[in-house]
Structure 1
Amino acid sequence: MAFDGITIANIRKELDDTLTGGRIFKIAQPEPDELLLTIKNNGAQHRLTLSASASLPLIYLTGKNKTSPMTAPNFCMLLRKHIQNGKIISITQPGMERILNFEIEHLDEMGDLCRKLLIVELMGKHSNIIFSSTSGVIIDSIKHISGLVSSVREVLPGKEYFIPHTQDKENPLSVTREQFMERVFAGNMPCFKALYTSFTGLSPAIAHEICYRAGGNADLSNAALDEDGRERLYRSFQEMMEDVRTGSFSPCIVYENNAPAEYAAVCLTSYPENARKDYTSISLLLEDYYAEKNTITRIRQRSSDLRRIVSTALERNVKKYDLQLKQMKDTEKRDKYRVYGELLNTYGYDVTPGSRSMTALNYYTNEEITIPLDPTLTPGENAKKYFDKYNKLKRTYEALSQLTLETKAEIEHLESISNSLDIALKEEDLVQIKEELIESGYIRRKGGSKKVKITSRPFHYLSSDGYDIYVGKNNFQNDELTFKFAVGNDWWFHAKGIPGSHVVVKSRGDELPDSTFEDAARLAAHYSKGRGQEKVEIDYTEKKNVKKPGGGKPGFVVYYTNYSMMIDSDITALEQIE
């Protein structure tokens, strides 16, 4: 995610409104590259997280505390010595750089007032937190960068601080119309790329939004724009920069498939309104966004072993199934060999000894047929040879007919487990999936270990008409929902022909409105392998029509009476009940 200059500008305004004039009460360093400042201002206490993590640099206000090491690191001790109880005079952002400067007033060892700068650089792997004098001499930094590491700039005590200009980009806040036209419309590239490669602080998402507001296609080549199109793009760009200058921010998160996909400090009108969540605070947005992202990442990491087991088993079964189908195709010749044997027994007396073939009338089709012969064998021996081939292929066909059904059922079962792993949101959701893999023989239960306690429960939604809708998170929950929880007149939904969750609507004996059927169908589409597709076909029927075949895999059901509908998988308008 691009932590761009506009986001920094929004944070600067929020921190300026909240922290300027306040005093630094506590300084902690919970991580090697992270600071947590406690600041008191206007009778309130605020916590500020400053992270220079290479993978996730951040700065935001938070209500949460973090445990610090028993012995404070050297950089933390230095800051405590100089600026603890210091007053924040100003918070500034140079141009649209991803940098914030905190000017702090404090008393030195002689009791005289002096000022220092705490500089937070949020530049991906180059992120750093630097403590310097107002004259620009570095006192220390949370990361030391020597000349061996970077040829652009050394960040070491005693060195001069400066902002490295490694890219030839303009400040979007001060660019003139002539400069804009000259930079954006030079060369030949998509309009959105021309914007974010020409100006500091613009991410691809913001560049897309500027193009959208100008009424153009972001992927359209800049060379294809006429004078009117260029003027609209410039006006859209200037309107957004004016919002940045005046501090008119509208932070929002955009969701795709119920997961956070994008965020920005401005309203991303290029996305549907029901896919956006608006915020009044950029700090709250960042905390929510990365908390959700971290949850998804953590679940992915925790489920990686299970995914590997399922993927390996699935790959093995698919190969086995392909081989079985190939062998089945080979058995299609069995009836031909049977006919050869029968015709040889019927007409073989006419065959001349040593013949390599025989032509006879096939009384099944009334067509002449040529039968290859082994010249060293009699017609009767040739017939026996063909009957032996027929019987062998017949036995193979009968065996494979059952084996292919079993292998196909196993593939469908593993694909349903894979879908369960995709929709798992919490660690307890993985417990039941692991238990299913143990019971299916894919994981060996550790000696002496008992079944773990199951705390995961199905998803619970409320339809737009107030009806309760339940969605199974895995095959065990699917079976429980369908055969223990649902009653005969409740409605049951499932994506047609693809792995997915069982969805049950509690009808309460009512005749359900059409909108509730659509809500349940959307949930069935979303919690299936078809989510993200424009349309998914959903089967639905009353629960009493759904049966569990004897010996069926977990989650496997059959039904012969059903309705169908095509629906999208967008569930953003549905209310989820915890």
Structure 2
Amino acid sequence: MPFDGIVTKCIVNELNDLLAGGRVEKVFQPEADEVVLLVRSKSQNYRLVASANANYPRLHITASQKENPQTPPVFCMLMRKHLSGGKLLDISFHDYERVISINIESVNELGDLSVKRVVVEIMGKHSNIILLNSEDKIIDSVKHVDSDISSVREVMPARPYFLPPAQNKELPENIVPERVFEHPLVSEAKHVEGLLLNLIKGFSPYTCREICRAADVAPKTPVAALSHADKDNLISALKNYLARINNNGFEPCIIYQDKNFLKPLDFYCFVPEQPAIYKKYELLSAALDEFYSLRDTNERLTQKMGDIVKVIKNGIDRCEKKIALFNDKLREVSDREKLQLFGELITANIYCIPAGSETARVLNYYSENEEYIEIPLNEYKSAQENAQRYFKQYTKAKSTYLNATQQLKDTFLELEYLQSVQTMLENCSSRQEIDEIRQELTDQGYIRASARNSKKKQDKPSSPLDFTSSDGFQILVGKNNKQNDLLTLKLAAASDIWLHTRNIPGSHVIIRAERREVPDSTLLEAAILAAYHSSAKISSNVPVDYTLVRNVKKPNGAKPGMVIYENFKTVNVTPGEEKVFKITQNKINF
């Protein structure tokens, strides 16, 4: 997330256009390291959020409203005292540093107008929000930095405020692209990306890589290895980039992991040079608000499903250990038939075996070759007792084999079930979907039911994913195992088509046929959805079985989502973000 000097310039220009001349009406502090100013400007209300969070420091306008503590923190009370009712004069930044100043004119204790300054330092774990008086002395800050923490720069009440140490770099407007490769830093730079990063203020590694991509030069290419054509391309790309910065030709965007636009990877004030899935925004504030909102939602979902992930992982590990144990037992009793054979041969030759013998050499009349075999004996037991001993060992081995085989089968079914729940959990995109999986695992005994959860009001069950094929057929995809059962066993008609990945955990998919013949194109699209909503979503040539719903049965006592089916056919498909996106947009052209 490159909140670098270029992004800082973009957001400062934007905030000045929207908020300069506005009035600070309220101040909130919903988090220990986050402050929100409610500003009335140009007949509109804006919520300006400043965060000093070590992971997500930022300054932008937000549409979200967090719950505020009942008792405002001390810093919040000070901000209200000095800023409430004040006029926001302007917002500025210095030399492409990630230090933004918000100048607010307000009435002091004596009734005179004075200018207070809120400084937002966006510097990773060193981020801070600092309130200064008209003499640039610190009134207070969100984070106090004393001499024990930093010997270079203290941030404490009543201390004079100093800017963070400046970087010895050139401002973008002072850069002459044609002379970049004549700079003394060229001899010290290991590669092109490092040269640009150490030379130009406000540039992040991401910005430097984007310039290299625009020039079709690998960012880690050594400067000495650049050809004349490479240098010309880099100079041209840098010149174009600097022109866009100097002319404020910003194009805010968010780069996403996929075309569901639910998992953001990065944001920037220019569209990416490399092929990527991104969404453009008119305002950088809108992009930042969306980015951090989605990041926050995804993190909260990850935290919420953390204990469920642990339960499933422990269950899968337990099943794998049990499978290994049962396989060992089956190997141990793999020669059980020989024990029965020994007992029967001893019984058949009981009068021919002398007492006290350690072995008995007898004819194996069960073999086609009728060869003689040696049978070990206990010399202290009679022939009849030795035969009984082998029969008992055989009975025990046979019992072990039958029990281990049944338990191995049950364990494989449990493992298949847990893997299906794991796949469903990975595809969850809302709190409700996670709660439904939690309830399913509680019903199955994997999670202990609590009194608090039993009294909790149950939400309305979530609905299956609903798609329309290019031929106009409705395609439904289950989002959890209970939904899979509901789709297949309750909602689907006997003539509908059921699809599922073969021997791979995933969702049940239903094509609503409505007594029509389903074309191959719709079958292919439904198969792609089935493969995508399975644990093989990133694989190729995924086998997907399909059959009529009437051929799908649920065995007695089977776990949720577990079914058996017959009279099926198979199609191999390769799922992908692009294909699924086209299906969701009903624009099929693979």
Measured against the shorter chain, the TM-score band is: 0.7 to 0.9
- Structure 2 CA distance, aligned partners of 1:537 and 1:15? 53
1:350 Cα deviation after fit: 7.9
1:108 Cα deviation after fit: 5.4
- Structure 1 CA distance, aligned partners of 2:171 and 2:288? 25
SS in structure 2 at match of 1:244: helix
- Structure 2 CA distance, aligned partners of 1:462 and 1:9? 43
1:154 Cα deviation after fit: 0.5
The reply to whether residue 214 of structure 1 matches residue 209 of structure 2 is no
1:347-376 Cα distance to aligned partner (Å, 9 max, x none): 788878746574867864649675352372
Show the counterpart of 1:255. 256
The reply to whether residue 461 of structure 1 matches residue 463 of structure 2 is no
- Please list, as runs of the form range in 1=range in 2, the aligned pairs for 1:236-275 lying within 5 A after superposition: 236-256=237-257, 258=260, 259-272=263-276, 275=277
SS in structure 2 at match of 1:91: strand
8 Å contact kept, 1:187–1:223: no
1:355/1:460 CA distance change after superposition, 3 Å = closer
Larger displacement relative to structure 2 (516-525 or 341-350): 341-350
> What is the one-letter code of the residue matched to 2:332?
D
Show the counterpart of 2:434. 430
- Please list, as runs of the form range in 1=range in 2, the aligned pairs for 1:178-577 lying within 5 A after superposition: 178-179=179-180, 183=185, 186=188, 188=190, 200-218=201-219, 225-256=226-257, 258=260, 259-272=263-276, 275-341=277-343, 354=357, 356=359, 358=361, 364=367, 366=369, 371=374, 373-374=376-377, 376=379, 384-446=388-450, 449=454, 453-463=458-468, 465=470, 466-533=472-539, 536-560=542-566, 561-570=568-577, 571-575=580-584
- Structure 2 CA distance, aligned partners of 1:523 and 1:164? 53
- Structure 1 CA distance, aligned partners of 2:411 and 2:517? 40
8 Å contact kept, 2:528–2:573: no
Larger displacement relative to structure 2 (452-461 or 110-119): 110-119
SS in structure 2 at match of 1:497: coil
SS in structure 2 at match of 1:412: helix
1:547 Cα deviation after fit: 2.0
- Structure 2 CA distance, aligned partners of 1:340 and 1:225? 82
1:220/1:536 CA distance change after superposition, 3 Å = farther
Larger displacement relative to structure 2 (399-408 or 22-31): 22-31
SS in structure 2 at match of 1:332: coil
8 Å contact kept, 2:469–2:475: no
- Structure 2 CA distance, aligned partners of 1:90 and 1:156? 25
- Structure 2 CA distance, aligned partners of 1:237 and 1:489? 62
> What is the one-letter code of the residue matched to 1:567?
T
> What is the one-letter code of the residue matched to 2:309?
R
1:12/1:334 CA distance change after superposition, 3 Å = same
- Structure 1 CA distance, aligned partners of 2:213 and 2:371? 72
SS in structure 1 at match of 2:36: strand
8 Å contact kept, 2:7–2:269: yes
> What is the one-letter code of the residue matched to 1:544?
R
SS in structure 1 at match of 2:564: coil
8 Å contact kept, 1:355–1:375: yes
1:292 Cα deviation after fit: 1.9
8 Å contact kept, 2:539–2:574: no
> What is the one-letter code of the residue matched to 1:19?
L
1:495/1:346 CA distance change after superposition, 3 Å = same
- Structure 2 CA distance, aligned partners of 1:242 and 1:368? 95
1:406 Cα deviation after fit: 0.7
Larger displacement relative to structure 2 (42-51 or 408-417): 42-51
- Structure 1 CA distance, aligned partners of 2:246 and 2:372? 90
> What is the one-letter code of the residue matched to 2:554?
K
Show the counterpart of 1:141. 141
1:521 Cα deviation after fit: 3.0
8 Å contact kept, 2:326–2:405: no
- Structure 1 CA distance, aligned partners of 2:199 and 2:342? 79
8 Å contact kept, 1:36–1:48: yes
SS in structure 2 at match of 1:498: coil
SS in structure 2 at match of 1:48: strand
- Structure 1 CA distance, aligned partners of 2:327 and 2:248? 66
Larger displacement relative to structure 2 (484-493 or 200-209): 200-209
SS in structure 1 at match of 2:37: strand
1:73 Cα deviation after fit: 4.4
- Structure 2 CA distance, aligned partners of 1:397 and 1:563? 35
1:440 Cα deviation after fit: 1.6
- Structure 1 CA distance, aligned partners of 2:555 and 2:254? 45
TM-score, normalisation: structure 2: 0.84
Show the counterpart of 1:16. 16
- Structure 2 CA distance, aligned partners of 1:382 and 1:161? 96
8 Å contact kept, 1:252–1:264: yes
8 Å contact kept, 2:465–2:479: no
1:409 Cα deviation after fit: 0.8
- Structure 1 CA distance, aligned partners of 2:369 and 2:429? 66
TM-score, normalisation: structure 1: 0.86
Which runs of 5 or more residues in structure 2 are unaligned?
none
8 Å contact kept, 2:63–2:289: no
- Structure 1 CA distance, aligned partners of 2:195 and 2:351? 87
1:367/1:227 CA distance change after superposition, 3 Å = farther
1:520 Cα deviation after fit: 2.8
1:51/1:444 CA distance change after superposition, 3 Å = closer
- Structure 1 CA distance, aligned partners of 2:541 and 2:195? 34
- Structure 1 CA distance, aligned partners of 2:368 and 2:220? 63
- Structure 2 CA distance, aligned partners of 1:387 and 1:201? 85
Q: How many matched pairs?
A: 574
Larger displacement relative to structure 2 (519-528 or 323-332): 519-528
- Please list, as runs of the form range in 1=range in 2, the aligned pairs for 1:91-170 lying within 5 A after superposition: 91-106=91-106, 114-132=114-132, 136-165=136-165
8 Å contact kept, 2:464–2:483: no
Indicate the RMSD between aligned Cα atoms, in angstroms.
3.6
> What is the one-letter code of the residue matched to 1:371?
E
> What is the one-letter code of the residue matched to 2:33?
D
- Structure 1 CA distance, aligned partners of 2:294 and 2:534? 21
1:508-535 Cα distance to aligned partner (Å, 9 max, x none): 4444455543443333233222234466
